[in-house]
Structure 1
């Protein structure tokens, strides 16, 4: 590409630099030096001309953007180990049949060369919110077992048992963390299930996002980042049939209670769309948009009382056993979280959200996004979006995930 069209190759290098702008100096500087050398060679050989800039190759703009991104990190950060972590990993965990060895990937992914252990140990805490204390005869023994297993991997490891009136999983785990640490939160909190890799398009996205946050390299406008892979639209776009997701009574009741609102979004009209499966990063300032009592009240609603289950029915205080197995109130609330933290009701797909860094935007462009672009929902220029093949199939992704659980990589 460089020999046939130097501006195109240089633009590709700039995009690569932007996609890894948060990396450690040794890796990033080598790639930057490669770009500078190729740029100088192209100018000297006459294959990069002023006319290329005039005709729209964004080399100057791209370089300016990369320099701005590299300047995000405070100059004084991470020269010495942090007294307090800058990122909390909040893990909703049960302990029975849940394997969390994938957490080792924050240090090093088996298929990548980067060793990030120093940054993770200095800047990332693991807060385990244990939801299955009732199956362990000795909670303290279980707690110390988890702390011993992970204390050498993270800045801090804490284990907190959360016992609900009727089990609420991530709803009460996440809310309990916010209530516990509302007045002493780090800059970022990352909320995850114990099986997080199953909900995320690629585990690289999770590891890179946490690493960038820990190094101070997330732009200020990135206040909330959903990390799950499945974007859900409730307005049935493009369908010739009536929408099959009506505005259910129980959704409106949950919304009114959580937000103390007299009105609710019309989901079938597309008022409330976003990602399912509640794996996300949020800045402290976004959490603090609401007062502590908001979260304490929500925790009482979902965890301390059966009220969220009662809200599913219009008459009486009913708790239906199938709802308890499926954690129905929390399942229905998965589309509320981004609104709690200051996002618009309609959360855009990640690749369309210009507030997010390129390395987050370029992963998991779903097939539905192509159809939406073809319908003109992104403007006329977006219709060119298309998919190209790659050399990683489903099996390769599967075996990569399995390698996270290999003792050989511990």
Structure 2
């Protein structure tokens, strides 16, 4: 782990093309990342420890809620003014069920990501299969009765949406985006939002008083909205 931490400490926006941002618990195996970085020398890891007792070599997120949400937003807040050209937000384990087209290994997915696509679109989800999430995943103005009875996040989505994006945000009728919170974003796309927007998002993540979102719910909400956070339409 110390080897990876040293790479983070040596980060310079002038020489690094790609930030690999992830959350980690002590049980996660990052040997794959060490091997991957031996050939991808313009990549630098930003690993956030999410344990109650954080691993001392790693970064610490601004909140303990939502696991990858806190790590992702913490990176944006901390490096907003010195971002590399590309930031890739990924899960830490070597294999993920939602890695599809190139197999389950995250290293294979990363090697097949075309930076030209990120340049053209600004935001690219690393998953290719649209199910689950597309074409429509949430209908903010038309929740089911079950969601209403359970006071579920889906039944409170208009409020959640405005809490995250601001009081003047227009809540879309439908939201649909590819699942699973692994994506690449260009520096320019991240900076299309002022830093204050990301501060507001982090404050919402850390608000433990909300009755309709527990730690899992925080992660679920952002998993449905990352494409909107980074400038895509409600239906991706």
TM-score (norm 2): 0.75
Aligned to 2:10: none
Correspondence for 1:340 among 226, 229, 232: 229
RCO higher in structure (CA 8 A, sep ≥6): 2
Aligned to 1:310: 210
Deviations 1:332-351 (A, max 9, x none): 2211111111111111xxxx
In structure 1, C-alpha distance between the alignment counterparts of 2:14 and 2:154, rounded to whole Å: 48
1:235 positional shift? 6.1
Give me the CA root mean square deviation: 2.9
**Are 2:77 and 1:179 equivalent residues in the alignment?**
yes
Question: Unpaired segments of 5 or more residues in structure 1?
Answer: 1-81, 108-116, 144-158, 237-241, 313-319, 348-410
1:219/1:332 CA distance change after superposition, 3 Å: closer
Aligned to 2:194: 291
In structure 2, C-alpha distance between the alignment counterparts of 1:186 and 1:126, rounded to whole Å: 12
**Are 2:208 and 1:274 equivalent residues in the alignment?**
no
In structure 1, C-alpha distance between the alignment counterparts of 2:50 and 2:43, rounded to whole Å: 22
Aligned to 1:331: 220
TM-score (norm 1): 0.45
**Are 2:132 and 1:225 equivalent residues in the alignment?**
no
Question: Unpaired segments of 5 or more residues in structure 2?
Answer: 1-12, 139-143
1:235/1:83 CA distance change after superposition, 3 Å: closer
Decide whether the 8 Å contact of 1:254 with 1:329 is kept in 2.
no
- Runs of at least 4 residues off by over 6 Å: 242-247
Aligned to 2:61: 162
In structure 2, C-alpha distance between the alignment counterparts of 1:200 and 1:245, rounded to whole Å: 30
**Number of residue pairs matched?**
205
Higher helix share: 1
Q: Report the 3-state secondary structure (helix = DSSP H, G, I; strand = E; otherwise coil) of the residue aligned with 1:265.
A: coil
Aligned to 1:255: 161
Question: Residues 41-60 of structure 1 correspond to what in structure 2 (within 5 A)?
Answer: none
1:259 positional shift? 0.7
Correspondence for 1:99 among 24, 29, 40: 29
1:190/1:235 CA distance change after superposition, 3 Å: closer
In structure 1, C-alpha distance between the alignment counterparts of 2:66 and 2:88, rounded to whole Å: 19
Q: Report the 3-state secondary structure (helix = DSSP H, G, I; strand = E; otherwise coil) of the residue aligned with 1:225.
A: strand
In structure 1, C-alpha distance between the alignment counterparts of 2:65 and 2:72, rounded to whole Å: 13
Deviations 1:145-184 (A, max 9, x none): xxxxxxxxxxxxxx311253x5221111111100000000
Aligned to 1:88: 19
Deviations 1:341-393 (A, max 9, x none): 1111111xxxxxxxxxxxxxxxxxxxxxxxxxxxxxxxxxxxxxxxxxxxxxx
In structure 2, C-alpha distance between the alignment counterparts of 1:174 and 1:338, rounded to whole Å: 13
1:135/1:206 CA distance change after superposition, 3 Å: same
Structure with larger Rg: 1
Decide whether the 8 Å contact of 1:253 with 1:311 is kept in 2.
no
In structure 2, C-alpha distance between the alignment counterparts of 1:221 and 1:302, rounded to whole Å: 30
1:331/1:235 CA distance change after superposition, 3 Å: closer
